[in-house]
Amino acid sequence: MSTLEQQALEYHAAGQRGKIAIEVTKPVGSQADLSLAYSPGVAAPCVAINKDPAKAYEYTAKGNLVGVITNGTAVLGLGDIGALAGKPVMEGKAVLFKKFAGIDAFDIEIDETDPDKLVEIIAALHPTFGGINLEDIKAPKCFTIERKLRERLSIPVFHDDQHGTAIVVGSGFLNALHLTGRDISLVKVVCSGAGAAAMACLDMLVDLGVRRENVYVCDSRGVLTTDRELTEEKRAWAQNTAAKTLSDVIGMADVFLGVSGPGLLKQEDVKRMASQPIVFALANPEPELRPELVLEVAPDAIVATGRSDYPNQINNALCFPYLFRAALDSGATTINQAMKRACVVALAAMARADAQFGKNYIVPTLLDPRLLTGVTPKIAAAAAESGVARKELDPKAYAAQLEALAKTLL
């Protein structure tokens, strides 16, 4: 067992087991307090909510509570390890919600792999939460589960493995294009991987201006082509080409996007890319090609990974706390494309505004103190402008509210 593994086990077992606990937020030190917190006083908010369900956001924790939900079928580089074994990851996600955005979260691990049954279970739980963060659910079932829940529920449902990755990739992508002087409508993109994260990333890149005909996607069997039998999600990216392998399509590519597995990109592939190649090797913990090996054959490359020990870490925690903070505060019924795009642009602009902006700094770092106050208001504004917000936020008052919250989280 490595030193890191041993330290991690000791960290999780020390003191109170796990990483999260429940905190009481109102006085309960007297009989009078208890009569308000529970019987008989608790009946008053129950009656009020029964008359007007929106009052739940005023009288309960619903408006600041997110459900972090998984079935453990695609856990953090570990694969299908089951719901129970995925619990430490879900607890960790709850920690990040609280640490970065002051949002409470319940982790819920559901021992169910049938997508229709899972939808029914999650939908039945929705009164508890102001939003639902789906996590580590295997593709392609995750697409169906998220779509059906979004159609049924009037609270935000967000599969972070898809959209969180896509948002941070989009941000780094815009800045890499900026640094290399590329026209987004002309860049050639080659993607290794065709799972949930890859598909969401590609959708985001097209939304930002990449042309679909300039995108080539490879799964474990090779290039997605029109003569292959493919799922609906993959079919949308099929090209009419005789190319079969990643090496067949990598020539003169401006961008490599890896959301697949270790070692799938070779140095010879990088050599065949355009000058100043942009390489997002996001397989975790071991990337498609290590940055030092990319730079060995292409010193002018811009490289990003999912790892914290290299520059340009593509980390979902750069966006999901602030998306949910904005969604909860604005009463958004969903996290829509306008909100996701606003997050992409805000993150990119934040990195460009930093003195260290350059090829080794294309996205903010996870602990950048500007994130809560700099990104969240722009997402909330997009929610209002796109018509999904149920609350009207005064920009100045909201900025002050976030500033105050940020001080409590430092």
Q: Which domains does the chain have, with CATH numbers?
A: 4-25+61-155 (3.40.50.10380), 161-409 (3.40.50.720)
For residue 143, CA distances in Å to 35, 197, 198 come to 46, 10, 12
What confidence score (pLDDT) does residue 32 get? 96
What is the rounded distance in angstroms from the CA atom of residue 384 to the CA atom of residue 388?
6
- Identify the active-site residue in 62, 93, 148, 234: 93
The answer on pLDDT for 1 being more than 90 is no
Token output for 249? 């399509």
**Residue range 26-49, pLDDT digits in tens:** 999 999 999 999 999 999 999 999
- Identify the active-site residue in 11, 38, 244, 271: 38
Count how many Cα atoms sit within 13 Å of the Cα of residue 280 in the half-sphere of its side chain: 32
Give per-residue burial for 113-143: e unless 16+ CB within 10 Å, then b: bebeebbebbeeebeebbbbbbbbbbbbbbb
The answer on pLDDT for 92 being more than 80 is yes
What confidence score (pLDDT) does residue 60 get? 97
171, 347 contact by CB (below 8 A): yes
What confidence score (pLDDT) does residue 73 get? 97
**Residue range 340-388, pLDDT digits in tens:** 999 999 999 999 999 999 999 999 999 999 999 999 999 999 999 999 9
57 is catalytic: no
87 is catalytic: no
What confidence score (pLDDT) does residue 169 get? 98
Does the annotation place 135 within a ligand binding site?
yes
What confidence score (pLDDT) does residue 200 get? 95
**Residue range 49-82, pLDDT digits in tens:** 999 999 999 999 999 999 999 999 999 878 999 9
**Which pairs count as long-range contacts for 151-154, CB under 8 Å and 24+ apart, including other chains?**
152/119, 152/123, 153/123, 153/126, 154/333
The more confident residue out of 181 and 285 is: 181
Phi, psi at residue 376, to the nearest 5°? -55, -45
The answer on pLDDT for 161 being more than 90 is no
DSSP designation for 230: -
The answer on pLDDT for 165 being more than 80 is yes
Percentage of the chain exceeding pLDDT 90: 96
Computed over every residue of the chain, the mean pLDDT equals 96
**Sign of the CA dihedral running 229, 235, 240, 245:** negative
Mean pLDDT of 103-115: 98
What confidence score (pLDDT) does residue 410 get? 74
Mean pLDDT of 233-239: 95
The answer on pLDDT for 285 being more than 90 is no
**Residue range 370-383, pLDDT digits in tens:** 999 999 999 999 99
Q: Which residues are CB-contacts of 271 (< 8 A; sequence separation ≥ 6)?
A: 297, 298
What confidence score (pLDDT) does residue 2 get? 82
Does the annotation place 284 within a ligand binding site?
yes
138, 73 contact by CB (below 8 A): yes
What confidence score (pLDDT) does residue 355 get? 96
Mean pLDDT of 291-309: 97
pLDDT-derived band at 307 (thresholds 50, 70, 90) equals: very high
What is the rounded distance in angstroms from the CA atom of residue 191 to the CA atom of residue 24?
47
